[in-house]
């Protein structure tokens, strides 16, 4: 049902108000609108239509250009539309018969940790992704690339962590091109926290950002609602408590590389064994001024048990219910050879 | 669900106020995890369980088996809420003693199963949060497995998995073991063609149980640490412990 709204004004200030309303209308609510705008000097009349063809004169011509250049579906900057969140809340509360339950997003469970050592930063993560309390992925990657010397561990909702870090990587690249400078860890943290705050905690990803830039080695943690901490060692995820206890016991500033790797490995292993949401292997990422060493599967403290029985099926085990043979009469039209890269 | 926070209804946000006293309803139940499995053979029965006791994301104990010996020929596996498991097994032990004193004989597996059903149903409106599986030898010396739901419904089976990883173990058992032990029956290994209908030997059954738990420990977070296998034969009950993944 289309409503008819009438904008009318008799004087200059009201004209601006009317035009503002019109601009807003143009932005998001395509309805039938009847517009009548009268300025003090001239009066302009338009007709009711879904796309207003306004004949503005002189000073208002640039406004007309602005109107036409605005796309009604353009996302306004700096705000998240909570329409869907509202709809979800209504669906969950009121539609009891349909028993609407939003699908549970996969969380990573997770233990992630990071610490600053003598020459840079060591980041660590476990590799288990859980779907409620069932393991969905036994060897997923939780340490994500942001910039050549900035990496990010993601915990919480897997999709949110993945998307947030990919967004950061793109933004960092653009920023580097815009400024002509290598990125700062503080810049990544700021963009990440601004994005997460904009989503008011609905993006459920907790993140540890670590890296080396021109000012030195830095480590930040960012929470789903947008707060951040800058500390020499940090842990996040469901296994954070287990991992931080190891750090609190043995952390010292300016450790050597091997000691630092061992400490982070031990912290993640504590999470792997003591937290049900974390498991499988330890991934490490060592970032220094010289470069990055990504140690995927650095340690595998648990191993799958050896099965004693044979469970392979002989060919013919699956029952064939019907068999239809359709001969295809084909002619060779063209023969070509393509070399495959088999190495 | 995150989206429901802060929304009072269509078109408006909930009034934000500092949540001073939050009403957390006390729940009399907790879920302590654990998986139990029982297999009945020609002249033996196996009851196996993992030994991990967990709550939420933490582990209470890595050595808390869920198999409890009732008589020389019966073992029960209980998983679910550990408090109720302990109380239930104490009650069953007491009832077994009472029966022994009044009837001058030990309860048979079938009798224990029937009794357990009535014990569970007596608490129909405040149930024991326990998934039970009884494994033992019946009067003829053949293997018997009885599986229960929390309020006492039970049936005799050839094999049954219960507890947190039951949905992962049961289909594997359906595929690998024999659902019907009647010699006259033509039903064999489910969904497989041309497979020899061999009865399960004791060694093969123990091997199957171990392998099946290895797979369960991979994917279920509540299952792991160690596996306790109790093999019941006319000679008695033999227990073995096999390590599983600890993460």
pLDDT band at A305 (very low <50, low <70, confident <90, very high): confident
Distance CA A32, CA A145 (A): 49
- Residue B23 is assigned to a structural domain of this protein: no
- Residue B5 is assigned to a structural domain of this protein: no
- Residue A41: the pLDDT is 45
Question: Is residue A274 within 8 angstroms of chain B, CB to CB?
Answer: yes
Interface test with B, best of A156, A301, A305 (most B CBs within 10 A): A305
- Residue B200: the pLDDT is 83
Show the tokens assigned to A94.
């009121």
Question: Is residue A314 within 8 angstroms of chain B, CB to CB?
Answer: yes
Least confident interval from A150-154, A234-238, B4-8: B4-8
Section A328-339 average pLDDT: 90
* Closest B-chain CA to A302: B245
- Residue A108: the pLDDT is 58
Name the residue facing B222 among A133, A273, A316 (closest C-beta): A133
- Name, of A25-39, B14-28, B40-54, the range with top average pLDDT: B40-54
pLDDT band at A267 (very low <50, low <70, confident <90, very high): very high
Question: What confidence tens digit (pLDDT) does each residue in A71-107 have?
Answer: 555 555 666 677 777 777 777 676 555 555 666 666 6
* Closest B-chain CA to A89: B4
- Residue A106: the pLDDT is 62
- Of all residues in chain B, the percent with pLDDT exceeding 90 is 76
- Residue B195: the pLDDT is 66
Range of the domain at B140: 35-190+197-244
Distance CA B1, CA B22 (A): 18
CB contact under 8 A, A89 and B59: no
Q: Where are the alpha helices (DSSP H) in chain A?
A: 12-28, 61-69, 83-94, 158-179, 185-198, 240-250, 257-274
Over 50: is that where the pLDDT of B186 sits? Answer: no
- Residue B8 is assigned to a structural domain of this protein: no
How far apart are the CA of A47 and the nearest CA of chain B, in angstroms? 32
- Residue B94 is assigned to a structural domain of this protein: yes
CB contact under 8 A, A307 and B192: no
- Residue B184: the pLDDT is 31
- Residue B164: the pLDDT is 94
Of A203, A89, A47, A173, nearest to B6 (Cα)? A89
- Residue A283: the pLDDT is 96
Q: Are strands A34-38 and A6-7 parallel, antiparallel or unpaired?
A: parallel
Neighbouring C-beta atoms of residue B105, cutoff 10 Å:
9
- Residue B12: the pLDDT is 56
- Of all residues in chain A, the percent with pLDDT exceeding 70 is 71
Residues A23 and A69: beta-carbon distance below 8 Å: no
| CB < 8 Å to B9, chain A | 89-90, 93
Alpha carbon A200 to chain centroid, angstroms = 14
Question: What confidence tens digit (pLDDT) does each residue in B154-167 have?
Answer: 999 999 999 999 99
- Residue A26: the pLDDT is 54
| CB < 8 Å to B31, chain A | none
- Of all residues in chain A, the percent with pLDDT exceeding 90 is 54
pLDDT band at A240 (very low <50, low <70, confident <90, very high): very high
Distance CA B152, CA A156 (A): 39
- Residue B53 is assigned to a structural domain of this protein: yes
- Residue A309: the pLDDT is 82
Chain A residues 26-85 within an 8 A CB cutoff of chain B: 84-85
How far apart are the CA of A320 and the nearest CA of chain B, in angstroms? 9
Interface test with A, best of B9, B57, B207 (most A CBs within 10 A): B57
- Residue B212 is assigned to a structural domain of this protein: yes
* Closest B-chain CA to A280: B247
Q: Please give the C-alpha separations between residue A114 and each of A156, A249, B44, B212, in angstroms, as whole numbers.
A: 16, 15, 53, 37
- Residue A49: the pLDDT is 37
Name the residue facing B3 among A88, A274, A280 (closest C-beta): A88
Distance CA A50, CA B171 (A): 60
- Residue B27 is assigned to a structural domain of this protein: no
Show the tokens assigned to B171.
């289909």
Question: What confidence tens digit (pLDDT) does each residue in A116-172 have?
Answer: 999 999 999 999 998 888 999 999 999 999 999 999 999 998 889 999 999 999 999
Show the tokens assigned to A309.
């029985």
CA angle A40–A45–A50, rounded 5-degree value: 130
Distance CA B167, CA B216 (A): 10
SS3 state at B198: coil
pTM: 0.74
Question: What confidence tens digit (pLDDT) does each residue in A173-224 have?
Answer: 999 999 999 999 999 999 999 999 999 988 999 999 999 999 999 999 999 9
- What is the CATH classification number for the domain harbouring B109? 3.60.20.10
Over 90: is that where the pLDDT of A8 sits? Answer: no
Question: What confidence tens digit (pLDDT) does each residue in A34-63 have?
Answer: 445 444 444 444 443 344 444 444 444 555
| CB < 8 Å to A85, chain B | 3, 7
Section B16-22 average pLDDT: 56
ipTM: 0.80
Question: What confidence tens digit (pLDDT) does each residue in B57-115 have?
Answer: 999 999 999 999 999 999 999 999 999 999 999 999 999 999 999 999 999 999 999 99
* Tally of domains within chain B: 1
- Residue B17 is assigned to a structural domain of this protein: no
* Catalytic sites of A, residue numbers: 110
* Closest A-chain CA to B61: A274
- Residue B241: the pLDDT is 96
């Amino acid at each position: 049902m289309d409503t008819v709204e009438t904008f009318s004004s008799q004087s200059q200030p009201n004209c601006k108000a009317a035009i503002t309303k019109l601009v807003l209308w143009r932005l998001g609510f395509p309805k039938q609108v009847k517009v009548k705008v009268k300025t003090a000097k001239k009066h302009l009349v338009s007709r009711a239509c879904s796309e207003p063809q306004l004949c503005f004169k002189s000073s208002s011509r640039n406004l007309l250009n602005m109107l036409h250049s605005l796309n009604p579906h353009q996302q306004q900057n700096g705000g998240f539309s909570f329409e869907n969140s509202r709809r979800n809340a209504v669906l969950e509360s009121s539609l009891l018969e349909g028993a609407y339950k939003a699908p549970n997003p996969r969380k990573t469970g997770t233990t992630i940790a990071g610490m600053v050592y003598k020459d840079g930063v060591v980041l660590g993560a476990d590799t288990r992704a859980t779907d409620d309390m069932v393991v969905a992925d036994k060897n997923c990657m939780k340490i994500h690339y942001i910039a050549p010397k900035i990496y990010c561990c993601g915990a919480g909702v897997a999709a949110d962590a993945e998307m947030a870090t990919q967004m950061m990587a793109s933004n960092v690249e653009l920023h580097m091109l815009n400024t002509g400078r290598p990125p700062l860890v503080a810049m990544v943290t700021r963009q990440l926290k601004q994005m997460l705050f904009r989503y008011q905690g609905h993006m459920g990803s907790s993140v540890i950002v670590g890296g080396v830039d021109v000012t030195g080695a830095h480590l930040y943690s960012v929470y789903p609602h947008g707060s951040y901490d800058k500390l020499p060692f940090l842990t996040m995820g469901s296994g954070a408590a287990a991992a931080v206890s190891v750090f609190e016991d043995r952390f010292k500033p300016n450790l050597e590389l091997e000691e630092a790797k061992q400490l982070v490995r031990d912290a993640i292993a504590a999470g792997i064994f003591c937290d049900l949401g974390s498991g499988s292997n330890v991934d490490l990422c060592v970032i220094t001024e010289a470069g990055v060493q990504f140690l995927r599967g650095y340690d595998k403290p648990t191993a799958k048990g050896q099965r004693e029985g044979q469970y392979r099926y002989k060919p013919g085990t699956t029952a064939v219910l019907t068999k239809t043979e359709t001969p295809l009469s084909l002619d060779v039209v063209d023969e070509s050879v393509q070399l495959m890269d088999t190495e | 669900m995150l989206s429901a926070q802060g929304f009072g209804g269509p078109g408006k946000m909930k009034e934000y106020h500092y949540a001073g006293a939050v009403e957390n309803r006390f729940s009399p139940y907790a879920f302590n995890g654990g998986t139990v499995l029982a297999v009945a053979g020609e002249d033996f029965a196996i009851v196996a369980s993992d030994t991990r006791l967990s709550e939420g994301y933490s582990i209470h104990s890595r050595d808390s088996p869920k198999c409890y010996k009732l008589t020389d020929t019966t073992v029960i596996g209980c998983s679910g809420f550990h408090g109720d498991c302990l109380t239930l097994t104490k009650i069953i032990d007491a009832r077994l003693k009472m029966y022994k004193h009044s009837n001058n004989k030990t309860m048979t597996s079938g009798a224990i199963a029937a009794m357990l059903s009535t014990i569970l149903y007596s608490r129909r409106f405040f149930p024991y949060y326990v998934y039970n599986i009884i494994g033992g030898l019946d009067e003829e010396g053949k293997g018997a497995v009885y599986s229960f739901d929390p309020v006492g419904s039970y049936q005799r089976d050839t094999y049954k998995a219960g507890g947190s990883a039951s949905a992962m173990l049961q289909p594997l058992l359906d595929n690998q073991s024999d659902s019907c032990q009647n010699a006259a029956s033509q039903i064999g290994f489910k969904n497989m063609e041309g497979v020899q209908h061999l009865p399960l030997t004791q060694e093969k059954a123990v091997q199957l149980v171990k392998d099946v738990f290895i797979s369960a420990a991979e994917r279920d977070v509540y299952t792991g640490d160690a596996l306790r296998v109790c093999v019941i034969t006319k000679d008695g009950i033999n227990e073995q412990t096999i390590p599983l993944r600890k993460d």
